Structure 1
């Protein structure tokens, strides 16, 4: 019997593909209009190098406090220097093309990219017109660190000098970090326009003095900016360029502070002591590679702890990777996770045919890399073997962190240190629950006893404390008592069934969005999925925010949809229940093999509905 799929069930097979394509097209169409072309730079390593010396000029660049939540994650890709808004950049490079474009500036640019720093690379050879175009102004304004690279002919370019004026204004007015590099010129020569730098600058000055008064006004601004920047502590490039690139990259990492921090909840309670205990072992002075295992039941906070440790240690590692939710991701193929690990560390998109090839690449090409790797939610020792192997796969002082619900994995993984994460105590549980239920650290007096009842039911499980706290928020005491009775009927170990109470409290549109995210849209840009939800009249803007407030989903960087694996499993269980062995009766099919079987069995007729 054919079962038509239409209306909301359009999401079953076609929506994720169709909507992703449409969204990708429209989003990129917007970006394309603001781009200007730039030739890709050669990424080869420099051939000859010498030793760097730090410029001893007075002054120092200020260091702003960074609050950017990284990402987890994302492997950077080379970006054209003319991206429309400039707001995705962390570093702005200003240099004179003929002097350094195919040399030092190019090596520095790619050195930054390799560690995941998004850099804007300007080249005055590619620029036209008299004024700094809005693209460059936006890039300077939004970049956290501004790096002018002074070479002999830097002062002959009006474009470079205008950029420098803007750079120094940003330093003086906004506290942005300026890190000047003096390429085969002295800082004092730049400031006083002396030496070979001054000779070329004055030749340019002579020509400008024959022109308008505006040119003379510009000259004064340029000289003032050159004098100011010469007093900022930076680096002189006379020695080994490859060593200096490493030095500058590490300096930038320290200045940024973010260091690609993974997003974690702001309402953490009691995690500091766990981070301290694990990092005390990881900070061991031993030169050996160390494997550390974090064990605990689902929803206990293993992933959050691993993220916090990763954020704390990432400063110390040029090469790092956080591979999330391996238990689920493993189903898509071992080589896909191997590709992610290699891509994160080498910053290269390497095609891998099968898991054996991936294993060989990791064990051979990463041998000389000091890495920080987190394998999150491992449920099979083979996952560790295929991704991080053993202690000699990486350079000395590498750190591998494994989280799992099954501590038996640690023996086969040759873990050096095991940390057993326990439930939160009653005091910590009360604080965490209150943060979500009352938006403060303790309950109002009239809710004190009811709060302690709920907290005791959660068993100190952070996920339940968050979800139930959000569920009870704004409810009257009579509603509290009714929900407490429901919770008490469910055995403490049945975490998923307890979480289901929050799902049942949603309205129909919220339930549909929750199930769609659980089945299709985890780690997806919310804008892509919202096109479908808008068409289905599910009011995504309001309902996504409601799901977030209910702690059933998280939104990272105001964009990416995230969901705890317990909640994901709950959603998929709801979709499958009553028809476990009859997938054609499910409202959603997310497993490609399962969907293919249904189509081959001719159980489903798909109608594509296009909404105007």
Structure 2
């Protein structure tokens, strides 16, 4: 791999010497921390690509949930680029430039390009050039159709402006990009491009290190190893089980975010048990079909119809499906009843509290989630209680006791919420525990008092022999109240 360091933005551009279309951007170490309005800005010449390549690309990006800016109201010749368009460029995380043979013939395309390269250099915007039926060297050195376009611009525009356009073209064409000649058709290029964009955006949608927080990353890797991803033909079912609120869903979500873009179709179904009991399992089938097939308002009349539809439509798709919080075998039967429903290489991940359920459904592997270690508990509590701030000396004292006792992520987050953003004392921190202990102690005293009252009452008013109370067998036999409970009435 050849690595080029961008000094201005701190971005690492990685290109493949053997395959240009595999070149991409390593954003894991980027310091880019701005917020943005659009995920992707598309820069293109409409007459060349609007009805074919750009149309396919825009639709594929939208299907993946990637918010894309595409200006369909193209500027007429001679008009300046609008402030709204400049703002859209500046508020986009990625700019995808589609260089076609006529790209440089329109001045507004070149003005877009200048603004994009400014954002790349100043604020660290990621720029991806696509060379659509043009040679990258023609763009970089302004040859052939690009030379013809600039010959015309040199007659109509100022030398300073023309020079700025040439420099922007050379800079953009020098970045690692995708060449259409390396793909069999437009569909293949669009599929690969969208897949990589979707994967890169995951790094920004989840805060850095979130999946490694409190051992989530290591547990996720263990589950991934059970999935046997190298086996591209088999359909495998992997289960994650453990008691409530121990982190099963967090691990499954991290796994889904990590792998979903590698599959032709993917779906994460939350709270399967609860939603199934409330709306019916056929409702979940409709959601699954909609997500996997990218269809809207899928309607089925019965659970059996949903199973039949999934059998027909999923069998050619390499799929990743996560069924979260399953609590009954019927839910698995309706949503993933047979491995033959899915294409080769598919993976089904199930989270549940019932480990026996996973064995009954024939899971290939299971992973039991245990409580956090002391180190992981301390890390999780510290992050949720103090964020990036360093806790004071007083606060550091109660981190240890809390993390020694509590190892459930949900409980640690609840304790952390008590101290987040405010100064507290020992009394405030342990007041909930003190209240529970005081309640238990009061209940114990109350029971003892009532027992003593009964003994005194029987001795004084019923003539009971007090020494008999010292003999447990007599006390139970003579003075304990008797109750008769017959679930069914006796025969007369």
Deviation at 1:404, TM superposition (A): 1.0
Return the alpha-carbon distance in structure 2 between the equivalents of residues 100 and 54 of structure 1: 24
Q: Secondary structure at the match of 2:170?
A: helix
TM-fit CA distance, 1:422: 1.6
Residues 1:190 and 2:133 are matched in the alignment:
no
Cα 1:487–1:471 change in 2 (3 A) is farther
Residues 376, 230 of structure 1: CA spacing in aligned structure 2 closer, same or farther, 3 A cutoff?
A: same
Distance in 2 (CA, whole Å) between partners of 1:392 and 1:435 is 44
> Which residue in the other structure is 1:349 paired with?
296
Aligned equivalent of 1:95, options 25, 44, 65: 44
Assess if the C-alpha contact under 8 Å between 2:213 and 2:379 holds in 1: no
Measured after TM superposition, the shift of residue 202 of structure 1 is: 3.0
How far is the alpha carbon of 1:300 from its aligned partner? 1.0
Q: What residue number does 1:402 align with? A: 350
- Indicate conservation of the 8 Å contact 1:144/1:256, yes or no: no
Q: Counterpart in 2 of 1:280?
A: 225
Say whether residues 1:221 and 2:170 are aligned partners. no
Q: Post-superposition shift, 1:446? A: 6.4
Which of residues 266, 269, 290 is equivalent to 2:236?
290
CA contact under 8 A between 1:124 and 1:157: conserved in structure 2?
Answer: no
SS at 2:413 equivalent: helix
**What do you get for the CA RMSD once the two structures are aligned?**
3.5
Unaligned runs of 5+ in 1: 1-52, 69-85, 492-612
Q: 1:191 to 1:472 in 2, by over 3 A?
A: closer
CA-to-aligned-CA distance 1:3-30 (integer Å, 9 cap, x gap) = xxxxxxxxxxxxxxxxxxxxxxxxxxxx
Would the aligned equivalents of 2:100 and 2:134 in 1 still touch at CA under 8 Å? yes
Does the aligned pair in 2 maintain the 1:319–1:371 contact within 8 Å?
yes
Q: Which of 339, 358, 369 does residue 391 from structure 1 map onto?
A: 339
Q: Measure, in 2, the Cα distance between the counterparts of 1:315 and 1:332.
A: 29
Preserved contact between residue 182 and residue 236 of structure 1 (Cα < 8 Å): yes
Provide the C-alpha distance between the structure 1 equivalents of 2:115 and 2:390, rounded to a whole number of angstroms.
49
The farther-off stretch of 355-364 and 289-298 is 355-364
1:270 paired residue among 207, 215, 219? 215
Which residue among 395, 398, 412 is the counterpart of 1:465?
A: 412
Residue equivalent to 2:185: 240
Confirm or deny: 8 A CA contact 1:152 1:200 kept in the other structure. Answer: no
Q: Secondary structure at the match of 2:214?
A: coil
After TM superposition, the score normalised by the length of structure 1 is: 0.60
- After superposition, residues 74-153 of structure 1 pair within 5 angstroms as 87-123=36-72, 125=74, 130-153=79-102
- Encode CA deviations 1:533-570: one digit per residue, 9 max, x unaligned: xxxxxxxxxxxxxxxxxxxxxxxxxxxxxxxxxxxxxx
Please name the residue that 1:167 is paired with: 116
2:203 aligned counterpart, secondary structure:
coil
Q: 2:247 aligns with which of 288, 292, 301?
A: 301
Contact 2:242 2:352 in 1 (8 A): yes
Deviation (angstroms), 1:108 = 1.7
Question: Cα distance 1:272–1:62, how it changes in 2: closer, same or farther (>3 A)?
Answer: closer
Which residue is equivalent to 1:317? Answer: 263
Does 1:362 find its partner at 2:307?
no
Aligned to 1:543: none
> What is the SS of the residue equivalent to 2:311?
helix
Q: Which residue of 2 aligns with 1:327?
A: 273
Contact kept, 8 Å, 1:124 with 1:159, in 2: the verdict is no
Deviation at 1:448, TM superposition (A): 7.8
Q: How far apart are the structure 1 equivalents of 2:218 and 2:103?
A: 52
Superposed displacement of residue 303, structure 1: 1.0
Q: Is residue 295–residue 419 contact of structure 1 (8 Å, CA) maintained in 2?
A: yes
Residue 260 of structure 1, CA deviation: 6.0
Moved more, 481-490 or 280-289: 481-490
Taking a change above 3 Å as real, the CA distance of residues 427 and 103 of structure 1, as seen in their structure-2 partners, is closer
For the 8 Å contact 2:61–2:194, the answer to whether it is kept is yes
- Specify the structure having the higher radius of gyration (Cα): 2
What is the match of residue 256 of structure 1? 201
Asked whether the equivalents of residues 363 and 389 of structure 1 are also in contact (C-alpha less than 8 Å), the reply is no
**2:300 counterpart SS class:** coil
Shift of 1:426: 4.3
SS at match of 1:270: helix
Cα 1:61–1:433, aligned 2, differ >3 Å: closer, same or farther?
Answer: closer
Distance in 1 of aligned mates of 2:428 and 2:224: 43
Q: Secondary structure at the match of 2:266?
A: strand
CA distance in 1, matches of 2:386, 2:149: 67
Contact 1:322/1:375 (<8 A) preserved: yes
**Structure 1 range deviating more: 120-129 or 394-403:** 120-129
When the two structures are aligned, how many residues end up with a matched partner? Answer: 412
CA distance in 2, matches of 1:353, 1:263: 41
Aligned-partner Cα distance in 1 for 2:401–2:102? 74
Q: CA shift at 1:234, angstroms?
A: 1.9
- Post-superposition offset of 1:124: 6.0
Q: Indicate how the Cα distance of structure 1 residues 192 and 266 shifts in structure 2: closer, same or farther if over 3 A, else same.
A: closer
The 1:61/1:392 distance shift into structure 2, 3 A limit, reads: closer
| Partner Cα distance (1:437, 1:262) in 2 | 17
Q: CA deviation at 1:293?
A: 0.9
CA distance in 1, matches of 2:202, 2:372: 30
Q: After superposition, what is the alpha-carbon deviation per residue over 1:507-547, rounded to whole angstroms, capped at 9, x for unaligned?
A: xxxxxxxxxxxxxxxxxxxxxxxxxxxxxxxxxxxxxxxxx
- Judging changes above 3 Å, is the alpha-carbon distance between structure 1 residues 259 and 292 closer, same or farther for their aligned structure 2 residues? farther
Which structure has more RCO (C-alpha within 8 Å, separation ≥ 6)? Answer: 1
Task: Give the TM-score of the pair, scaled to structure 2.
Answer: 0.73
Q: Distance in 2 between matches of 1:440 and 1:461?
A: 22
**Distance (Å, rounded) in 2 between the aligned partners of 1:258 and 1:318:** 20
Give the C-alpha shift of residue 295 in structure 1.
Answer: 0.8
Matching residue of 1:16: none
In the alignment, the residues of structure 2 paired with residue 440 and residue 143 of structure 1 have an alpha-carbon distance, to the nearest angstrom, of: 27
SS in 2 for 1:362: helix
| Aligned residues of 1:89 and 1:119 also touching (Cα < 8 A) | yes
Q: Which residue of 2 aligns with 1:416?
A: 364
